[in-house]
Structure 1
Amino acid sequence: MHYRLPPLPAVRAFEAAARLGGFQAAGEELHVSAGAVAHQVKQLEAWLGVPLFQRLARGVVLTGAGRQYAQALRPLLNGLAEVSEAARRQGDERVVTVTSVPSLVSRWLLPRLGRLRERHPEIDMRLLASLHPVDFLNEGVDVAIRLGTGPYPGLKADVLMEEWFSAVCSPAFKAAAPDLKEPADLLRYPLLHDELEPRIPDEILWPRWLQHFGVRYAGSNRPSFSHTYLTLEAAATGQGVAIAAEPFIEEDLRSGRLVRLLPHRMRGPYRFHLLRLPEAEARPAVKAFCDWVMEEARGSEAEGVAGATV
């Protein structure tokens, strides 16, 4: 059977322009110039023999034919993406692509990959560190670990870990502060601050953490750092006390680079979720990874609970 199809790059450019409302935005998404999008749309209009956009002084708007064409295209392109991804994965059954925030990748997932290889030598891991929302089909992602509150429509979502914040310091710092017994005692010592941008709504920083334990903290000119890993590095070298979510400090606690200064800990407003498409676990490698990472998370939370005060 011979298919008389329009030029597919032009179809993709038109769909992006119709969805985003203009050539400039479509160009940014497709990583080409607005002029290149406009040229491809003209090619498609010539092939179809009908105008799809009305060109105005301040932009473009879809014609009636353009709206109908865009509405019909979207399910077709989604279907093409799905069947193409399914075909691609048939030759790649061993690879499991996982994405998570950089801090969790470096401080929690990476130290555990040896145990995954021992348990499942058949899995080839592809690990991506990213913060942006996940497009599972177009990015070829099997599993995402994200911090949030949910729900996640259209995805299978399991709570992986709670986010608990503890005060930590170096062993030498703790030894030099034997009178530090309660959260209020922290006000006599240097508190190391995160200054994250863009800020996370309701994130746990020193004022909220201390207030949770009944301590009023007005703030002062104390050391601050742009990233959590810098704050924790400063704490490990004895420069003061940091607070951080326990998944990020677990390996440092285990190795002894950091110690809990107090048993007090506070639960954050978010949880780490294990996200995947509903059909993803039909692949044995993805199912094995999900089962393994859930088991690892249960072990982490059991360690964190021991001796804690909330």
Structure 2
Amino acid sequence: MATPRRLPPLQSLVFFEAAVRHLSFTAAALELGTSQPAVSQRIGLLEEDLGVPLFKRGHRGVSLTADGLQLFNAVRDSLGSIGEAAAQIRSRRARQVLTVATDFGFAAYWLMPRLAALRALLPNLDVRIVTTQDPFDIRGEPVDIAIAFGAGPWPGCTAVPLFPEIVVPVCSPGFWAAHGLTGQAADLAKLPLLHLESAEPLRWLGWENWFALHGVATTGESHDLTLNNYPLVIQAAIAGQGLALGWTPLVDDLVRNGQLVAAFAQPATTAHGYFLVQPTAQRTPESVQRFRQWIVGECASALLHSPFLDKKGL
């Protein structure tokens, strides 16, 4: 079994390193906030522990011995590494970390494209995004704030509305052309539909409810596809696999850049929507306050410039 290495007194190494840099016990004492005899005593204890002199003491000051130089090189590098590590830890601690919970669709199609703008506005803020498709109680989760979909209220929380639920069927331009869509709701019921899997009761508008709003009875004759998160639904729509329900402003950029087109002229609205949710009893740090201010403004702007807004007259 290897014999463990015995370190010299660690505090004495700090005194030693300062004395070498200054080549003066008096100057080292001033830096360390102590007395010259205290530094001399610490150096003496270190030399006693090592069994060798580390300094040559003369009338005009001190200089290093060969053993002293060897020790100083090691101590300098070690203390430098420790100091750098400590600085990095303090820097990380000084940075604010904001944990935001939301669903896959909002994270992928609305929040992620705007994170660069948020980081430019709040450069000292580190954002951590947690995604889930299921409802959850933010009061029992290690998150600072949530962007949640529903009708509210959320017990024990404040909820600020961000977007109402505005839904329009969307598909790829190729799918539109291949099926000769006329913009009639009844025509859509015969085509492959893309569904977002959800536990009952459904928290968002589904195809069955969308057709019911437009007085269309579904026959179940279409070859549908069900996926368990919204980005997969949208990717399937872009790939021409079927019709998807598009939530504005989540799909607005995809419509603007031509990856998707509206398959029906009139968006449907419900009493649901996205809300900014925060526990009432939770202290609101500055990072959360500034994020709230930023996202409320960004959402208002996005809704104002939605390509479907004028069709609703909102």
Same fold (TM over 0.5): yes
Aligned match of 2:311: 308
Residue type at the aligned position of 2:225:
S
Q: For residues 124-170 of structure 1, what are the alpha-carbon distances to aligned partners after superposition, in whole Å with 9 as ceiling and x for unaligned?
A: 1111113352344x643211111122222332211111122111011
Give the corresponding residue for 2:137.
134
**CA distance in 2: counterparts of 1:289 and 1:243, whole angstroms:** 29
Q: For residue 231 of structure 1, report the CA deviation from its aligned partner.
A: 2.8
2:206 alignment partner AA: L
Task: Please state how far the C-alpha of 1:257 moved relative to its aligned partner.
Answer: 1.4
Tell me if 1:298 matches 2:297. Answer: no
Change in CA separation of 1:142 and 1:173 when aligned onto 2, cut-off 3 Å:
same
Q: 1:195 to 1:113 in 2, by over 3 A?
A: closer
Aligned-residue sequence identity (percent) comes to 27
Instruction: Give the secondary structure class of the aligned counterpart of 1:158.
Output: strand
Q: Which runs of 5+ in 1 are unaligned?
A: 1-90
**Deviation at residue 103 of structure 1 after TM alignment:** 2.4
Structure 1 residues 244 and 305: alpha-carbon distance in aligned structure 2, compared to 1, 3 A threshold: closer
TM-score, normalising length from structure 2? Answer: 0.61
Offset from partner CA, 1:91-133 (integer Å, 9 cap, x none): 5662111111222212221111011112222321111113352
Corresponding residue number in structure 2 for 1:211:
212
Q: Bigger CA drift: 226-235 or 111-120?
A: 226-235
Moved more, 148-157 or 111-120: 148-157
Task: Work out whether 1:253 is the aligned partner of 2:246.
Answer: no
Contact 1:134 1:144 (C-alpha < 8 Å) held by counterparts: no
Shift of 1:262: 2.1
Unaligned runs of 5+ in 2: 1-92
Distance in 1, matches of 2:131 and 2:181, equals 41
Q: Which of 1 and 2 has greater Rg?
A: 2
Q: 1:96 to 1:230 in 2, by over 3 A?
A: closer
The aligned counterpart of 1:58 is none
User: 2:83 maps to which residue?
Assistant: none
Kept in 1: contact 2:196–2:233 (CA 8 A): no
Q: Contact 2:192/2:223 (CA < 8 Å) preserved in 1?
A: yes
Give the residue type in structure 2 aligned to 1:153: P
Q: How many residue pairs are counted as aligned between the two chains?
A: 219
Task: Give the match for residue 157 of structure 2.
Answer: 155
Q: Are 1:242 and 2:244 an aligned pair?
A: yes
Q: Give deviations 1:238-275, integer Å, cap 9, x for gaps.
A: 23222132244233223321111222211234221111
